[in-house]
Amino acid sequence: MKIERGDWALSLRPDLGVSITALTWRGRDVLRPAPADVDSPLAASSFPLAPYANRIDGGGFAFEGRAVRLPATPGFAPHALHGVGWRSRWSVLRAHGGTVDLALAAEAGPEWPWAWTASHRLTLSETGLEMSLAITNEDRAPMPAGLGLHPYFAVEATTRLRLPAPKVWLTDAREIPDRLAASGELIDWSDGVAVAGAPFVDHAYADWNGQAELIHDCWRVDLTASPNARWAQVYAPRGEGFVCVEPVTHRPDAHNAPAGEDSGLTVLQPGGALSMTARITASET
């Protein structure tokens, strides 16, 4: 599926976790383009995360007296990663003009013991891409929930990332959050840092203001997320030509956060819903 509006073009695979496979502006790659034979969202340009984002330590947690054990996600054992939505086929409810509405219904099962539905709207206009994501608890019992978006932003040799966030979750050897620290203990992106010169990063930044900028040579890309996406997971592997800036509504392994911590995890009562939005724009500089 391909949509074009003004200087923007978007390609989409609803059958592949509703993955975006390309997003361009004036012929430039805003997101990393997927290969023509892409068969995994991890090789795509962006995909939604539901009913949770990032890792759950060992796939296990306790919720309201209930012990939950999820299977390990292939390639990320022993942890469960990113929920079910990114590995599911979504249904296209409506595609009109620059807007595509998609839906997913998930029954309770081994990968998530609650029933839920999700909706995802992508709107491409002459000013950029608007993404909205929502989840509803369709179960008879309360359900922990979280959402996220996983864009892979294309980077050039001189690209700088600016992302104001004062704190970062440092991780243990298993890539599970271990300690909340000042961003400078890892890398502080607040004033703009060249992605090519940055160390390897795969960490959640806390108290994020919901805005990030990719500053290229003569042009820039802006990401703006809704206020409830207070964490930004930054994945910056060295020499790969992309950086992920993932707006998420909770920190990794929030399901195992200590009691009283503001981890961002939301408890949805039966019929309750959670939503988030993000917008990508571009401009010449």
Residue 256 belongs to domain with CATH number: 2.70.98.10
Which residues 6+ apart lie within 8 Å of 96 measured at CB?
none
pLDDT score for 188: 97
pLDDT confidence of 84, banded at 50, 70, 90?
A: very high
pLDDT digits (tens, 9 = 90+) for 9-49: 999 999 999 999 999 999 999 999 999 999 999 999 999 99
Question: Which class for 56: exposed (0-12), middle (13-18), buried (19 or more C-beta within 10 A)?
Answer: buried
Enumerate helices (H) and strands (E) in the chain, giving the number of each. 0, 27
Alpha-carbon Rg for the chain in angstroms? 18
Q: For residue 152, what are the domain limits? A: 2-284
CB count within 10 Å of CB 96 equals 7
pLDDT score for 114: 98
pLDDT score for 35: 96
pLDDT score for 250: 98
The total number of structural domains that make up the chain: 1
Q: Which residues pair with 41 in a beta bridge?
A: none
Mean pLDDT, all residues of the chain? 97
pLDDT score for 39: 95
pLDDT score for 112: 98
Does the pTM surpass 0.75? The reply is: yes
pLDDT digits (tens, 9 = 90+) for 99-126: 999 999 999 999 999 999 999 999 999 9
